[in-house]
Amino acid sequence: MGVLNHFVVKRFLFFLFVVWLASTVIFIIPRLSGQDPVKEKLLLEAQRGGAMQTGLDAMAKTYQKRFGLDQPLWTQYLNFLQDLAKLDLGVSIAFFPRTVNDIVFESLMWTLGLMGTVTILAFVLGTLAGAVLGWPRKPGWVQYIFMPLLTLSAIPQYLLAMILIFLIAFKLGWLPLFGGYSPASVPTLTFEFVVDVAKHAILPAFAIIFSAIGFWAIGMRGMMINTQGEDYMIQADAKGLKGSRIFMRYAVRNALLPQVTGLALVLGTIVTGQVLVERVFSYPGIGDILFQAIRLSDFFVIRGIVIIIILGIAGATFLLDVLYPLLDPRIKVRNS
């Protein structure tokens, strides 16, 4: 137990380290370019005049006070880290005085709901498909059903999304074209609304699942084939075990380990794919907000989203790291 605690503490310290280093990079990037997107944005707004005019002074003051641009760089850096520690991501430029937290957290729910479900589903289905494909005693037809499916993994998710929109939503009209829910419906916890949300989620979900299944299946298939060569697989046969037990408890169980490690490595890619799929579907998640923010050059919202995503990936990696020893008993001993 002591060892395990030790291990968890170490992983957590590393999680903090990753977040700190990543935030520092994010802090440095704008300083390197020599440009100030915030000032430029303010200038642009000022030139346009109009509705924003009245708020502009207040905004500039808040901006000055919050970021203390007259102060030395390290003070700014410390302020930035301090805000980050409080999870305060700043104020939006385009929608002043709404805070970034306000804007981002609303859409975060949509993204997490969709991405969480879909990632787990794709991982499970893909791993199963790969396990069967890598099993020498599989029925012959499996090869012909799954192999074309694997090729789908080569197609980027957002392109698959476009094809699905065209075929299912546009041509056949079975499902809605875009959005997270119908504009007419009221976001409350009624049955109708839940069904509406589910309908809108199907296509984006399928776009992601279809292409991710292949990815996981290919990895798992390779690991299954590697596992076949292990001595314990021959011994399992020599023990006269049932085929199903050898498959699940010996082959899949061992092939799964690198698969889980792989999950931690591609979290970043998963998030990126999701962001773009949301863009294609105008799904009201973090990807759509990001796109809007880019169009409006809303620097603080963009930065906030990047920080949130990095926190999410680092957090998920930390969780996987901590849970991994439950899957592989050898890790506890190695302790590093």
Among residue numbers 82 through 141, which ones bind another protein (CB under 8 A)? 136
Site string for another protein, 210-239 (x = CB under 8 A): --------x---x--xx--xxxx-xxxxxx
Q: Which of 123, 153, 204, 259 binds another protein (CB under 8 A)?
A: 153
Total residue length of the chain: 336
Q: Which of 4, 8, 11, 18 binds another protein (CB under 8 A)?
A: 18
Q: Which of 12, 16, 40, 185 binds another protein (CB under 8 A)?
A: 40
272 binds another protein (CB under 8 A): yes
Which residue lies nearer to another protein by CB, 40 or 192?
Answer: 40
Which residue lies nearer to another protein by CB, 1 or 333?
Answer: 333
Query: What residue type is assigned to position 119 of the chain?
Result: T
Q: How far apart are the C-alpha atoms of 198 and 221, rounded to whole Å?
A: 32
Which residue lies nearer to another protein by CB, 40 or 106?
Answer: 40
User: Alpha helices, DSSP H only, in the chain?
Assistant: 2-33, 37-48, 53-67, 73-85, 100-133, 140-152, 157-164, 191-228, 231-238, 243-245, 253-281, 286-295, 299-327, 330-334
Q: What does 281-330 look like in DSSP terms, one character per residue?
A: HT-TTHHHHHHHHHHTT-HHHHHHHHHHHHHHHHHHHHHHHHHHHHH-TH
Site string for another protein, 290-329 (x = CB under 8 A): xx--xx-x-x--xx-xx--xx--xx--x---------xxx
- Find the part of the chain contacting another protein (CB under 8 A) among 17-25, 57-65, 68-76, 192-200: 17-25
Sign of CA dihedral 286, 291, 294, 295: negative
Question: What are the beta bridge partners of residue 99?
Answer: 91
Q: How far is the CB of 280 from another protein (least distance, A)?
A: 6
Q: How far apart are the C-alpha atoms of 278 and 273, rounded to whole Å?
A: 9
202 binds another protein (CB under 8 A): no
Which residue lies nearer to another protein by CB, 27 or 193?
Answer: 27
Q: Phi/psi class of residue 231: alpha, beta or left (left: φ > 0; alpha: ψ in -120 to 50)?
A: alpha
Which residue lies nearer to another protein by CB, 193 or 291?
Answer: 291
73 binds another protein (CB under 8 A): no
Which residue lies nearer to another protein by CB, 70 or 231?
Answer: 231
